[in-house]
Amino acid sequence: MQFDSLTFVVFFLGLLALYQLPWSWSARKWLLLLASFVFYGAWSPAFLLLLIGSASVDWWLSLRMAAATAPQLRKRWLLVSLAANLGLLGFFKYGNFLNRNVESLLAAIGVHWQAPVFDILLPVGISFYTFQSLSYCIDVYRGQVPVQRSLRDYVLFVAFFPQLVAGPIVRYSEFRDQLEQPRRSSADGVVVGLSLMLLGLFQKVVLADTVFAPVADTGFVAGAAPGTALAWSATLAFSGQIFCDFAGYSMCAIGAALMLGFHLPDNFRSPYAAVGFSDFWRRWHISLSTWLRDYLYVPLGGNRGSQWLTARNLMLTMLLGGLWHGAAWTFVAWGAFHGAWLGIERFGRRVLPDSTLLRAWPMRACYGAFTLLVVVWAWVWFRAPDFATAASIHGAMLGQQQTPAPVLSTEAWIALASFGVLVLAHLLTRSFDLRAALGRAPAVALGLLWALLLAAIVLSPGAGRAFIYFQF
Amino acid sequence: MRRLLLAITIALCGLALIAGTVEWQWRQRGYLPGILDGQDLWAQQRQRVYPEDGQQALVLLGASRTLYSIDLQRIRERLPGYAPVMLALDAMPAMATLRDLSADPHFRGVVVCDIDGIGLWKITWESQQPWVDHYHRQWTPSRDLHRRLLNLWQQHAVIARSDFSLLRSLVRTLRSEPEPFHPHMQMSSAREGSIDYQGVDTSQHRRDLEAHLAKYNGKFPGPDPAVWHADLAEAKAWVEKIRQRGGSVIFYSSPISGLRRQVEEDTYPRAQFWNRLAESTGAHTLHADDVPALKAIALPDESHVDYRNKRAYTDALIDALVTRKLL
């Protein structure tokens, strides 16, 4: 079930009505769990069983971990959990990718083996819920969180429908108290939550699907040789699409949770206004970047070793972060490119003197613009269906295509203008607390804002595209 | 709570004012609401091929000629034992859907597959496969509910059409383009299409076909009849599977006229292709040329029926099928 479907409107209104009934907290948790199952099962009942099975296994393993006193035994249970989660992810997401690569590798050394192609559907949200469940097991192993003895509460933590299929990836430490303490919908929560949901839907339906996606699609066609203007317009449009699609989903998720009395962490903070690459990753998909930091980068050694080891750890983290997004080498290239810039930035900070000149606003503005340029450049690998198309688009962006420069369509100009407004909005809201501002807004202003957002959504009927991050 | 209720009231009033004004403005210009076809609407019909209450599904496959020419209500009236299901798709031959129905162990219906020479040529068989895949991989009860609500919205609101979206309106204004065409085609939620040819320049279709034909020096390249028939051995197995489950398949060549007919006869001479189809596929066949009532139907653009003639056309087709004991 998608947030931008009419089914969700019916589902959520029904749930909100039932949630207000004077039931015990335990009964309302059962209600939320059932609603989460309906939400997820609407895609595939079979994959709902997979989700329940996966969460139940982790819950049981965490109990074994907590019961074990010997460190070796605790470690063994953790390894089983790692194997189960990563095995699940590997089978559904990377099985065919692995087979194709083994086939190519063998062919390179003269061994001809035809890899079987499995007709496997990727369970929606699997990358998100396995990471969420995995973080809990690791935290229990580390003794950072107490074990959850209620299977219902644990499955609700994993399957809580607002964040289930595309994040934010919630940590158990952030959710535990919310499971223990009874939650209620409050008028203030509904005000802010509804505002966030409408803002999220506006980003998804109006900006991502209607304004940006059609322009991006015209440039990213396998085997096409776009001119410079088309390559730039398609890439900038995709930069707008990916943000509005994903941040729109996160905003809807946070808003829906808030209307039920739950607080989910922010996932985006004006990322296109980032100054530098580490700043970008503190603002983009925050729940994934902090996950990768805490459960991959730091265990690899983080920045505790030499410069080279730190660079290696950064690169490995970003390579795996890239691969997390999709089973294709183009995603790995995207991660590697970001990893390289993070390494260069780190090196630069070490060798350049910390002068006031570097901290002056013109220098920061230049570096911010450069960061945006590099981030936009990297999106080409993320969106292109293969390296040849990515190379063709990068070449065109550098003016290397010999095709005549096409006149940009009106739709492309609108997309470019919208991207400009989006970047400006990020600059203006770099340190802005949206939730607090919405919480303070007067009723008339809120009503007018909601009316405009709703009208824009209703007046943007379209193809009803799936959220991009569902495929991850 | 007061703040919330006030905000909601203002929002709903504002929405009604803005959307209502836009809706009113388009209606004033003569535009009417209508259902928009798509993969979800097709899948919604695809799930209806298992009727209960003792009825048998009558699945209508084909392309635009069937989509826009059949009167589903007339079938319901005249053939109460059958539940008509429209799965034809504009400009796409139907073999992929026929294959899918044959592979579906629960399908026991009758298939009337409107198809021509190129539609039976193997190179076009995959045309409808994306729709079949969508049904099997994406279609869920949740999408069904969404589509039902969307059907209601599209039936009642002009602004549900993407032609009237904010973006399209902005683009038209910036380009100083005229307002959208008044559509001469309509679709129902059961996927029954209608074309109103009054005021439509039908000679454009002929000019398009002539221009297309000119690229091939006046004769489209066609397949070797032997290869064409040999490839249909695969379809013979599909037909047999449906027959074993109590259903049947009827390949139907719908009426065409003028240049379109000449092109079909040149590329797929009936003696070499259609007349041996029953033998190659094991299916029943019906050719419009053999049914005077079908041949007599007016075809404004040489292959489609005006909506005013849909009932007569459907009657003629039902008569032909019943007379030949195919239904």
Tens-place pLDDT, residues A17-66 = 999 998 999 999 999 999 999 999 988 888 899 999 999 999 999 999 98
pLDDT at site A31: 95
Average pLDDT of the residues of chain A: 89
Instruction: Name the residue with tokens 């392309």.
Output: B63
- How far apart are the CA of A10 and the nearest CA of chain B, in angstroms? 9
- Residue B156: CB atoms within 10 A of its CB come to 10
Instruction: Look at residue B44 in the predicted model and tell me its pLDDT.
Output: 96
Q: What's the average model confidence in pLDDT over A324-340? A: 91
Give the pLDDT score at A349: 81
Q: Which band of pLDDT confidence, cut at 50, 70 and 90, is reported for residue A469?
A: low
> Quick check: B293 contacting A, CB < 8 Å?
no
Cross-chain CB nearest to A459 (options B9, B145, B166): B166
Residue B180: the pLDDT is 85
Contacts of A462 in chain B (CB under 8 A): 162, 165
- The pLDDT confidence band at residue A134, using thresholds 50, 70 and 90, is very high
> Would you list the DSSP string of A100-139?
HHHHHHHHHTT---PPP----PPPTTHHHHHHHHHHHHHH
Q: What's the pLDDT score for residue A402?
A: 67
Pick the CATH number of B35-323 from 1.10.3470, 3.40.50, 3.40.190, 2.130.10: 3.40.50
Residue B197's pLDDT is 86
pLDDT over threshold 60, residue A470 = no
**Partner residues linked to B187 by β-bridges:** B193
pLDDT at A302: 86
Residue A281 has pLDDT above 90, yes or no: yes
Across the interface, which of A121, A448, A459 has its CB nearest the CB of B14?
A448
Is residue B141 within 8 angstroms of chain A, CB to CB? yes
Give pLDDT tens digits along chain B (327 positions): 888 889 899 999 999 999 999 999 999 998 999 898 999 999 999 999 998 888 999 999 999 999 999 999 999 999 999 999 999 999 899 999 999 999 999 999 999 999 988 898 989 999 999 999 999 988 988 899 999 999 999 999 999 988 888 898 999 999 888 888 887 888 999 999 999 888 777 777 777 777 877 776 667 778 888 988 888 889 999 999 999 999 999 999 999 988 888 888 888 889 889 988 888 888 999 999 999 999 999 998 888 899 999 999 999 999 999 999 988
Flag whether pLDDT at A471 surpasses 60. no
A17 touches chain B (CB under 8 A): no
Please count the residues of chain A.
Answer: 472
Q: Please answer yes or no on whether B153 and A210 come within 8 Å at the CB atom.
A: no
Show residues of chain A in contact with B140, CB under 8 Å. 42-44
Give me the interface pTM, i.e. the ipTM.
0.80
Residue-level pLDDT at A472: 55
A69-73, A123-127, A358-362, A367-371 — most confident range: A367-371
A4-8, A58-62, A155-159, A234-238 — which is least confidently predicted? Answer: A4-8
pLDDT of residue A467: 57
Confidence of residue A100 (pLDDT cuts 50, 70, 90): confident
* Cβ(B62)–Cβ(B96) below 8 Å: no
List all residues of chain B from 98 to 137 with a beta carbon under 8 Å from chain A: 137
| pLDDT score recorded for residue A304 | 86
Cα distances from B171 to residues A172, A409, A427, in angstroms, run 48, 9, 28
> What are the two backbone dihedrals, phi and then psi, of residue B160, each rounded to the nearest 5 degrees?
-75, -15
Structure confidence at residue A360 as a pLDDT band (50, 70, 90): confident
Q: Is the pLDDT of residue A364 over 80?
A: yes
Q: First vs last Cα of chain B: how many Å apart?
A: 64
Q: What pLDDT, on a 0 to 100 scale, did the predictor assign at position B182? A: 80
Of B224, B209, B325, the residue nearest B257 (C-alpha)? B209
Residues of B in contact with A7 (CB under 8 A): 142-143, 145-146, 149
Using pLDDT thresholds of 50, 70 and 90, give the confidence band for residue A463: low
Q: How far is B134 from chain A (nearest CA, A)?
A: 13
B22 CA to chain A: closest CA distance, Å?
A: 9
Please report which confidence band the pLDDT of residue A404 belongs to, taking 50, 70 and 90 as the band edges.
low
Q: Which residues of A touch B22 (CB under 8 A)?
A: 459
User: What are the CA-CA distances from residue A284 to residues A243, A266, A290 (Å)?
Assistant: 9, 10, 10
A447/B153 touch (CB, cutoff 8 Å), yes or no:
no
Closest partner CB to B9 (pick from A187, A447, A460): A447
Please report, as a single letter, which amino acid is at residue B178.
P
Question: Pick the catalytic residue: A325, A338, A394, A426?
Answer: A325
Q: Which residue has the higher pLDDT, A12 or A440?
A: A12
Transcribe A432-459 into DSSP letters. --HHHHHHHS-HHHHHHHHHHHHHHHHT
Distance from CA of A5 to the nearest CA of B (A): 6
Burial group, residue A68, by CB count within 10 angstroms (0-12, 13-18, 19+): middle
Instruction: For residues A36 and A161, give the distance between their C-alpha atoms in angstroms, rounded to a whole number.
Output: 5
Q: What is the pLDDT of residue B217?
A: 65
What is the model's pLDDT at position A415? 95
Residue spans of the domains in chain A: they are 21-182, 189-471
Q: How far apart are CA B275 and CA B324, in angstroms?
A: 16
The verdict on whether A338 is a catalytic residue reads no
pTM for the predicted model, two decimal places: 0.86
Cis amide linkage into residue A168, ω under 30° from 0: yes
Write out chain B residues lying below 8 Å of A460, CB-based: 165-167
Low-confidence winner among A78-92, A454-468, B309-323 (lowest mean pLDDT): A454-468
Domain residues of chain B, as ranges?
1-30, 35-323
The answer to whether the CB atoms of B175 and A450 lie below 8 A apart is: no
Q: What is the pLDDT of residue A185?
A: 86
Long-range contact pairs involving A461-465 (C-beta distance under 8 Å, separation at least 24): A461/B159, A461/B160, A461/B161, A461/B162, A461/B165, A462/A205, A462/A209, A462/A210, A462/B162, A462/B165, A463/A209, A464/A2, A464/A4, A464/A5, A464/A209, A465/A208, A465/A209, A465/A213
pLDDT digits (tens, 9 = 90+) for A174-187: 999 999 999 888 88
Distance CA A261, CA A439 (A): 14
Extract the tokens encoding A160.
């809580």
pLDDT at A114: 79
